[in-house]
A and B are shown apart, each in its own frame.
Chain A
Amino acid sequence: MINALHPALIFIAGALLIPLLKGKAKSAYMLLLPALSFMNLLQIPAGQHWVIGFLDYNLTLCRIDRLSMVFGYIFHIISFISILYALNVKDDGQHVAAVLYSGAALGVVYAGDLFTLFIFWEIMAVTATYLIWARRTRASSSAGMRYLLVHLFGGLCLLIGILLQLHNTGSLEFSHIGLNGLASALIFIGFGINCAWPGFHSWLTDAYPEATITGTIFLSAFTTKCAVYALARGYAGTDLLIWIGAAMAAFPIFYAVIENDLRRVLSYSLINQVGFMVVGIGIGTELGINGAVAHAFADILFKGLLFMAMGAVMHQTGKINCTDLGGLYKSMPFTALFCIIGAASISAFPLFSAFATKSMVMDATAKDHLTGVWFILLFASAGVFHHAGIKIPFFAFFSHDSGIRTKEAPLNMLLAMGIAAFLCIFIGSFPGYLYSILPYPVDYQPYTAPHVMAQLQLLFFSALAFTLLMLSGIYPAEIRAINVDADWTYRKGAKAFMWMLTNPMTKLGAWISRTVFELIPSSLGWASKNPVAVIKIAADSLLLKFAVPEKRDEIKMRIQREKEIYPGDIIRHWPIGSVVLLAILFFLAYLLVNYMTGAKH
């Protein structure tokens, strides 16, 4: 028996009390939640806890090991920072949803079985949707609905996969699964949708920029990282992930460069960074997994910091597009400084966090002789410096003077950004502390002369490329527009589908309806008045086609007369001799059938 609560419980139960408090007590209470939860977490020893019976199965609500603990630590840290950042939000619904969302994320990383994971997974989807809807704009409403639909589909894949897995193995335990059949493939896809794999990614770039300012900070930290955790737990060493991750790292760069909305640029950048983690998991070596987990830890901080900086700009100016911003460094110097620290961290400058984490994945790739993937990641490293390292601070705080004059961000926002910035530098300068909590023992030294020199060369040449592109006028213009990628399927494809439904398909439907429900029944009704006359008219009409010219007039007159008197007297067309003949024929047919069936027996 342990004297502690489940790691997610303090967040989930605590969230429900938030609306009951007011003012500073509420702020203190909300800040206390992650602190208390963290202290509670430290009381739980390694192993499986809270194993309960459910139907004929055992559910393990909490499994503590080194992999889950890294994610647990960083989730607590980012929860504290995000709550601090959001203290001036007056909407209790947002606070409750955000804290529940954080608690659900903890529930996912500590779940020891697939069913518990699924429950927390779905709580995350619902609470995240609220954080998008809470902005209460038309765009956020639509984006939130699309987010919910995509995640419900992902959840459905996950649930079916779990049920099949249970059927196949008889166990709900969440450990290494590997790709080995339909069940594992469905679970893989369920995780992949939350991980924003290429083709499944557009929910992220669609919804995150439309969420509330503070909601985006929470969103950027949890959903994709829980998926990274789940993949690291269930699919480490799956080769397919190497190529999926490489594609994730590379393709968003092109969209991020042309994107006007700076929070959408960061969303693309988020996919790019998760790509590095997925590659590390796909490699599956101790260095690869350590690199993926360490980079997830660092990414949560620097991506959160960048989203916080852009959120502060949005909060103070109401603008987030490159076309509207620029020259804010004088108005918001601290925010600009924190943004630059986040940019340096994501770009992997020496002494900043990603330098010590991203390079582990690169090194794991090189050690596995994955030359092609290594080059893709190198390109992605240059690209991320281009769009997140330079573009974000440059277009928000420097570039052209937009004429906007505003105040610095509120103190709580600055404090939150300051803590995140400090941690980014701390991890980059003293990576040993982070390495000591990684799942496997670390035998890696980031600060070697070749690594530092190679990274500086990459960064400075990328900076040179950006400068020359700008000065030569080749850098693409930022345009107030929506850049469509995989969301083509529902932005354009769905539109085309709806057009097809409302135009040709509607006409086809109307024709079928008219033919089946009007024309055929009315014709049958007309013909049923005197079927013999109808047959006779039809026979005469057929005869007319083949008749010799001198007989045609006679046949035509006969048809006309038959139509005029139709339906006429049915008896007149049905002589008694014919009826007798028909009855005899039916009788003979009956005898024949009866004889044949009797003969068989």
Chain B
Amino acid sequence: MKDNYSNKHEELMELGHDPVPGYRPVFYVIMTIASLYLALILIKTL
């Protein structure tokens, strides 16, 4: 089986992920709530 290298297109050196405005605060808020919730569950369980 031979690798087919016939596809010519622009090859990226880096595939970055640009932030969509407004989502970073959402991420931090959800992460904080989720972490606190999990910590509470853990404390109650252990």
> Which B residues contact A (CB, under 8 angstroms)?
1, 3-7, 9-20, 23-24, 26-27, 30-31, 34, 46
Docked pose: A88 CA to B2 CA in angstroms: 10
Q: How far is the CB of A97 from chain B (nearest CB, A)?
A: 14
Interface of B is mostly: loop
Q: Does A527 contact B (CB under 8 A)?
A: no
Whether the Cβ atoms of A471 and B12 lie closer than 8 Å is no
- Taking CB atoms, residues of chain A closer than 8 Å to B24 are 472-474
Q: Does A470 contact B (CB under 8 A)?
A: yes
Q: How large is the interface on A (under 10, 10 to 19, 20 to 34, 35 or more residues)?
A: 35 or more
Q: How far is the CB of A271 from chain B (nearest CB, A)?
A: 24
- Taking CB atoms, residues of chain B closer than 8 Å to A324 are 9, 11-12
Q: Does A301 contact B (CB under 8 A)?
A: no
Within A426-479, the residues touching B (CB, 8 Å) are 461, 464, 468-475, 477-479
Contacts A371-B46, A405-B7, A474-B19 known; list 4 others, CB within 8 Å: A314-B3, A318-B4, A322-B15, A471-B27
Whether the Cβ atoms of B7 and A406 lie closer than 8 Å is yes
- Chain A residue nearest to B16 in the complex (CB): A477
Contacts A212-B1, A473-B24; A400 near B15 (Cβ below 8 A): yes
Whether the Cβ atoms of B19 and A471 lie closer than 8 Å is yes
Docked pose: A562 CA to B3 CA in angstroms: 82
Q: Which of A470, A471, A477 contacts B14 (CB 8 A)?
A: A477
Whether the Cβ atoms of B16 and A471 lie closer than 8 Å is no
Whether the Cβ atoms of B13 and A473 lie closer than 8 Å is no
Interface of A is mostly: loop
Whether the Cβ atoms of B30 and A468 lie closer than 8 Å is yes
Q: How far is the CB of A293 from chain B (nearest CB, A)?
A: 30
Whether the Cβ atoms of A318 and B6 lie closer than 8 Å is yes
- Chain A residue nearest to B19 in the complex (CB): A473
> Which A residues contact B (CB, under 8 angstroms)?
86, 88-91, 212-214, 260, 314-319, 322-324, 371, 395, 399-400, 402-406, 461, 464, 468-475, 477-480
Whether the Cβ atoms of B12 and A90 lie closer than 8 Å is no
Whether the Cβ atoms of A461 and B23 lie closer than 8 Å is no
- Taking CB atoms, residues of chain B closer than 8 Å to A89 are 1
- Chain B residue nearest to A470 in the complex (CB): B17
Whether the Cβ atoms of A319 and B7 lie closer than 8 Å is yes
Whether the Cβ atoms of B27 and A318 lie closer than 8 Å is no
Whether the Cβ atoms of B11 and A318 lie closer than 8 Å is no
Whether the Cβ atoms of B4 and A90 lie closer than 8 Å is no
Q: How far is the CB of A265 from chain B (nearest CB, A)?
A: 13
Contacts A315-B3, A315-B4, A478-B14; A402 near B23 (Cβ below 8 A): no
Docked pose: A405 CA to B6 CA in angstroms: 11
- Taking CB atoms, residues of chain A closer than 8 Å to B20 are 471-473
